[in-house]
Structures are given as structure tokens and as C-alpha cells.
Amino acid sequence: MMSLRDEMLGRVASIPAFRMMGPPGWELHEMAPEVEQQLVARARERLMAAHQPVLFARLGPLVTEAFSSARAQGARFMIMPGSDTPTGLLAPVTILGSLQRSSPSAPLDARVAEAIEHHGARPLGGSRHFLRWEHRKRARIDGDEADTRTLVYITPIPGTGRSSALQLTATIVQPVERDSETDARIADWVDMIDASVATFAWVRS
């Protein structure tokens, strides 16, 4: 478990060391089954204390689904609000870090080209290192319908000849019925995630 309060130093198996600034109190966790319930319980406690019952009701299934999906996709780490996160920076968001590799049937360059052509992928904030795109869908979570907004960021891993890449995937759960205040809050979360990813840099050995 690592703090994102000032700067995150990522040292995760199979991924070169990196650093990234993050929202105060957010933490990085390597994927491990034993931390899942601990994270759900802790985040629920914080959201209830912040009087966010709608987010509370959706958080548990989101984290469980995220862990299951993340493991299936080869995720190496997860970033989410920690116990010291200020109330104003709490968000029902998980950011997954996964290792993407080329294969004969699915080369990375082809996947990137598809993201550009079909999903509108563009450089993040003018960066030449990260491509960013997003997609949305409606899903049933814990018996209720909710909208999910997924932000995807991908950057090649140095020294691999673009055969391997790090992908960061941030999923935001939002109510189906929203008002202008909720939409503004979600827009703030998206800006916060974009700003954090924009600080990402590989650590030269």
C-alpha cells in the first residue's frame, strides 16, 4: 500500500518503476484477494460518514466487480481513495493499472489504431506519451441500474519497441438520474483523474 498524498512511486512486478502525483489520501494497492474486503469496508465507512448513501450502495459491488475484472485482464495494481482522503476528494472511482502485451493476433499498434478510429482516442492534454479515450454504458449493479463512465489511458513501456504498454483504466459509477450539481461533481472527478495521469513519468534507473 503506497500513499498518493504527495507522490506515488510505483514499484510493481513486471512494470518498470514510475511516479505520479495524485489526489491527497489516494493509495495504490497491488492486486491481492485479501485486501478486497478491507478496502470495501473502509471505503464504505468513509462514504457513509460523508453522507453519500447512494455512492455507498454502489461501492461494494463496484469494487468486487473491479477486482474480478481486473484480475481477468491482468491488472497489476489499483488506485482508490484511502482512509486519509479529505471528504471533498472522495469519489466512487477505481483506477486499474494493467500490463498490455502484443500478440500475433492482437498487436498493440492495431489496438491503438482501433481506439483512435472507433473510440476517439486522443493524446492526453497534448501529451505524446498517453493516449486517452472513454466509453459509457448502463449496467445493473446490486439490483439497481447505474451508468458507468470508463476513462482509458495507455502509454508504451520504454525499451519494449511498443510491444508492451501500461494501461490505466478509471471507472466512475454515476446515478442514472442526475441533476446539474451531480454532473458538475462528476466533471470535477474526471478533471482530477486527467490531471493525475498527466503527471505520470517513468523513473530512469
Q: Which set of grid coordinates corresponds to residue 88? A: 471533498
Can you give the pTM of this predicted structure?
A: 0.78
Q: Output the nine-digit C-alpha cell for 198.
A: 498527466
The contacts of residue 78 (CB under 8 Å, 6+ apart) are: 28, 29, 31, 66, 67, 70, 94, 95, 96, 97
- Tell me what pLDDT residue 166 has: 94
Least confident of 52-56, 121-125, 142-146: 52-56
**Half-sphere exposure in the Cβ direction for 52 (13 Å, CA):** 21
Please determine, for residue 100, whether its predicted confidence score (pLDDT) is greater than 80: yes
Q: Give Cα 99 to chain centroid, integer Å.
A: 13
Sketch the domain layout of the chain as residue ranges: 2-198
3-53 pLDDT tens trace: 443 455 555 667 888 888 888 888 888 777 777 777 777 767 767 777 766
pLDDT of 83 reads 72
Q: What is the pLDDT of residue 197?
A: 93
